[in-house]
Structure 1
Amino acid sequence: MADFDGASQAFLAWLRQSGAEISPKIAPQDLRDKDAGRGVVATQTIAENEFLFRIPRSTILSVENSILSTEIPAPTFAHLGPWLSLILVMLYEYQNGNVSNWAPYFAVLPQSFDTLMFWADDELAQLEASAVLYKIGKEDADEMFAEQLVPVIEEFANIFFSGDPRAQSLAKEMRSSRNLERMHKIGSLIMAYAFDVEPSSPSAKEVDDEGFAEEEEDEALPKAMVPLADMLNADADQCNARLFYEKDYLEMKALKPINAGEEVFNDYGPLPRSDLLRRYGYITDNYAQYDVVEIPTDLVAELLSKEGVWREERLQYLEEQEVLDSGYDIVASDPFTLYESLSPELVVLVQSMLLSDEEFEKLRLKGRLPKPEKMTGKDAEILCTIVRARMAQYATSLEVDLRRLEEVPAEDAATPKQRHYAMAKAVRIGEKKLLAQAEDALVEKMARDGGATTKRQRDVDEEGDVDMGGTGKKHRA
């Protein structure tokens, strides 16, 4: 406890010496008894819009602020991109130990991780059939480190290991499994804690009417570690603070009144629990409202082929209309409705395959698509078959998982493996519930339309053409 609190106090002292302003109404607190590590708690009542802390831009850990940026050419960093560039800088600062300007900050960052990157094979097997398994990307990361990051360290070994006569051999050792593991840990820190830092000049990029950058621009923003801002835990329902970007500093403000004794929360955004587990190594029921289950396009093609309605010649047009994707989501909604939760692109794909050649040709010539809201009983029947096949990909049924359901145990009440098994079960239960809700809704739709065998009915417009219309891409969590 003394070391934990001592590191926190040394960190705050370093922040203030670096020019940070910290409200006396907040303080870091040991929340390990709540499985929350370090957090920030209000020590006095805080008003809405009141400032909590200001961090000078010069204090954030970024490529720009590291001395490495003055020693390695800018094109090299540009080639690496925001992600690998920050990993390189953090590797450099970490290996400098106490000499690094950010040493007190490193002392309060986690040293171990529960993210999926570090799970054992038997633990990952508990997530069988969840699409999150294909997002971990450990092998891809290893390849990136070996082919892009390590060659830069080798090229600039005398800079990276400045003053060490073993610089060249140390650079070659960066390919070892031990050092690759270090890179994974730093990558996990960045994934869990880094911010996409907006430039000090607001004219440097365009934003929409609500002040948000376009997605493509957002991805290109430099990443940075923002001390203290990343100490805030996240909560989808209790978010009460937000980071604002000013010219010379980053400022955390209260979004609403915070009472003394309450924790200060940021928010990760609408992440499903599967991604919460992948990125941050924990789950909470507050994020169940963002759960997602993905249906792979390969499964759709396989089932429609068995039904004899898969038309390869129609794929080019559907691709042009942005209907085709690698997978289609079913997202949570409350109350659950097909039109809110089922991917409209999946509905359109099925509808398009069920059209007669004449109907599809009329559609293509007009550059139009079926309307998802015009789903018929036959459409629902095929979609229900797809949903049931997706459910069958899981090793256990929803009913079995619910019978064995246990709460995720606290860190001090279970082994890491027990926690991992419990978190994996909660994730797959969330995905299976969405599939079950979709199945029930589709069965109900089939019943309302007089059964799946009812003749396919379509409205006809004034020109005698089948009533079809475009559908825009729906933004999903």
Structure 2
Amino acid sequence: MLIWLKSKGADINSKIEIRPSTRQGSGYGVFVKDAVEADELLFTIPRSACITLDQALQDEVCGKTFQKIIDQAGPGGITVAMAGFMAKEWLLTPTTDNKRTQDTSFGPYLRTLPWTRGVNNQEHILFWSNQEIEMSLKGSMCYSEATALREEVNLAIRVLNGIVKPPIEAQRRKERGDEEKEEEAEQNSGFSWPWQTKSTEDTTTTTILEGLPEAVKGAFVCLLTRAFEDGEGDAEKLVPMLDMMQHSEDPSISHVMRKSDGSVQVRARKALEGGEELFNQYRSELEESMPYHRFFTRYGFVPGVEEDMMNLLQDKSSIFFAQTAEV
């Protein structure tokens, strides 16, 4: 990914490297190979290398329809639109076992993200089965938020299916050398909300595209766990490499978005020795609006707790379950 970032114009300090995190149960992390001074520039990521709302709305095929989602749904539609853009790009991104020769603009970066359960040790509740939710979270303080989030994502899958399915199927036909149904596909590419489908016999939008549910869930997980405020309204963005850093209440880096060009600069908050892992603060653990059970629902882990989450849930830990005071 470092090669791809540099091709996008990123400025990366030669002391930076990516390798497995030192945090138990974590995926990869960002490290400094040699000592750095306080406020030393570690890397700068240009806006063109970030996944932003602008990228989604400027998409040649789906951008205008993503804007319709935002117009209809308000701020909540921004996440749906960005998830749709990411899912579309991911489903068109080459993997090692297919014959695609054309990579998407963000292919190298997308391949570093946790699209499925277990990748980078990501165990987000959006990847859980309904049975796991009912057995492990029923009665917990995060049950209602978890089920509401899953319902939101299921609706998003239905909405996005009508938007990204036609262009993805068209691209897949081209890859197979099958262009006979291109004209028919173009005629059926109109957007409609799930409740506006005229007939159950119209399978253009009612039949879910293969791989789309998993892609949309993965996109939501990436946005929930890795997105940063973009500084433009309620929009968020994904910043490559910055989003690989593990969480700490005592972060070793600071980051700022430059208003001049939208790039993101990351600097050392303090002097660091060679070999140290870089940590960012996702949210303050002291925020009243972010208790540990909500931290878990949002990010998929509990800060400072290395014990298996399933064991804590099974034991009805006070992290997740309200405790009844003894009389």
Alpha-carbon distance in structure 2 between the residues aligned to 1:254 and 1:115 = 29
**Alignment match, 1:194:** 227
Deviation of 1:161 after TM superposition, in Å, equals 3.9
Structure 1 equivalent of residue 278 of structure 2: 264
Q: How does 1:236-315 map to 2 (within 5 A)?
A: 236=249, 238-246=250-258, 247-248=260-261, 249-270=263-284, 271-285=290-304
Map 1:349-428 to 2 at 5 A: 408=307, 419-425=308-314, 428=317
The RMSD of aligned alpha carbons is 3.1
Aligned: 1:142 with 2:154: yes
Q: Distance in 1 between matches of 2:217 and 2:91?
A: 15
Q: Which residue of 2 aligns with 1:106?
A: 110
Provide closer, same or farther for how the CA distance between residues 130 and 160 of structure 1 changes in structure 2, counting only shifts above 3 A.
same
- Give the match for residue 318 of structure 2: 429
1:118 aligns with 2:118: no
- In 2, the alpha carbon distance for the partners of 1:141 and 1:97 equals 22
Task: Give, in angstroms, the shift of residue 430 of structure 1.
Answer: 2.7
User: In the alignment, what sits opposite 2:27?
Assistant: 37
Q: Classify 1:175/1:13 alpha carbon distance in 2 versus 1 (closer, same or farther; 3 Å).
A: same
Selected match of 1:181 from 200, 214, 220 = 214
Query: Which runs of 5 or more structure 1 residues have no equivalent in the other structure?
Result: 1-10, 200-219, 287-406, 409-418, 444-477
Is 1:88 the counterpart of 2:80? The answer is no
Secondary structure, in 3 states, of the residue corresponding to 1:258? Answer: coil
User: Is 1:151 paired with 2:162?
Assistant: yes
1:76 is aligned to 2:86: no
- Which structure 2 segments of 5+ residues have no match? 95-102, 118-122, 189-202, 285-289
Structure richer in helix, relative to its length: 1
| Separation (CA, whole Å) in 1 of partners of 2:211 and 2:91 | 14
Q: CA deviation at 1:57?
A: 0.7
* Number of the residue aligned with 1:309: none
Inter-partner Cα distance in structure 1 for 2:115 and 2:240: 16
Displacement after TM superposition at 1:258 (Å): 2.1
Counterpart position of 1:223: 236
Deviation at 1:177, TM superposition (A): 7.5
User: For residues 67 and 95 of structure 1, what CA distance do their matches in structure 2 show?
Assistant: 18
**Does the aligned pair in 2 maintain the 1:50–1:253 contact within 8 Å?**
yes
Structure 1 residue 189, shift from structure 2 partner: 1.4
Closer/same/farther in 2, CA of residues 233 and 112 from structure 1, 3 Å limit: same
Q: Give the letter for the 2:4 counterpart.
A: W
Letter of the 1:111 counterpart:
W
Give the partner amino acid of 2:227.
Answer: A
- Cα 1:196/1:51, change in 2 over 3 Å: same
For residues 196 and 108 of structure 1, the distance between their equivalents in structure 2, rounded to whole angstroms, comes to: 21
CA shift, 1:21, in A, is: 0.6
Question: Which deviations, in whole Å up to 9, do the C-alpha atoms of 1:167-199 show, x marking residues without a partner?
Answer: 648964762585223211221111111222124
Separation of aligned partners in 1, 2:168 and 2:133? 40
1:56-67 alignment runs, 5 A limit:
56-65=46-55
Shift in alpha-carbon separation, 1:231–1:59, aligned structure 2, 3 A: same
Q: Displacement, 1:20?
A: 0.2
- Counterparts of 1:52 and 1:117 in 2: how far apart (Å)? 33
Distance in 1, matches of 2:241 and 2:57, equals 22
CA–CA separation in structure 2 for the residues paired with 1:177 and 1:160: 10
Seen in structure 2, the aligned counterparts of structure 1 residues 60 and 222 have a Cα distance that, compared at 3 Å, is same
Structure-2-length-normalised TM-score: 0.72
Distance (Å, rounded) in 2 between the aligned partners of 1:428 and 1:171:
46
Q: What is the letter of the counterpart of residue 244 of structure 1? A: V
How much does 1:38 deviate?
Answer: 0.7
Distance verdict in 2 for CA 1:110–1:426, change over 3 Å: farther
Report Cα offsets for 1:387-442 as digits up to 9, x if no partner.
xxxxxxxxxxxxxxxxxxxx62xxxxxxxxxx44224257732356x747xx58xx
Q: Percent identity?
A: 20
In structure 2, relative to structure 1, the CA distance for the partners of 1:126 and 1:70 (3 Å cut) is closer
- Specify the code of the residue in structure 2 equivalent to 1:118: F
Distance 2:245 2:255 in 1: 11
Task: Report SS of the residue matched to 2:82.
Answer: helix
State the shift of 1:242 in Å.
2.3
**C-alpha distance after superposition, 1:126-156 (max 9, x if no partner):** 333222111122123212332x3233336xx
Task: Confirm or deny: 8 A CA contact 2:293 2:319 kept in the other structure.
Answer: no
Is structure 2 residue 23 aligned with structure 1 residue 24? no
Flag the structure with larger Rg: 1
Instruction: Write the distance in 2 (CA, Å) between the matches of 1:181 and 1:269.
Output: 27
When structure 1 is superposed on structure 2, of 97-106 and 57-66 the one drifting more is 57-66
Total equivalences in the alignment = 274
2:63 paired with 1:49? no
Greater RCO (CA < 8 Å, at least 6 residues apart): 2
Per the alignment, in what secondary structure is the counterpart of residue 65 of structure 1? helix
Measured at CA, do residues 82 and 134 of structure 1 come closer, stay the same or move farther in structure 2, by a change above 3 Å? Answer: same
Worse-matched range after superposition: 61-70 or 226-235: 61-70
Q: Are the counterparts in 1 of residues 137 and 143 from structure 2 also a CA contact under 8 Å?
A: yes
Using a 3 Å threshold, how does the CA distance of structure 1 residues 104 and 158 change in structure 2: closer, same or farther?
A: closer
Structure 1 residue 14 corresponds to structure 2 residue 26: no
Separation in structure 1 between the aligned mates of residue 311 and residue 78 of structure 2, nearest angstrom: 34
The structure-2 alpha-carbon separation of the partners of 1:96 and 1:176, relative to structure 1 and needing over 3 Å to count, comes to closer
SS of the residue 2:116 aligns to: coil
| Counterparts of 2:218 and 2:204, CA distance in 1 | 18
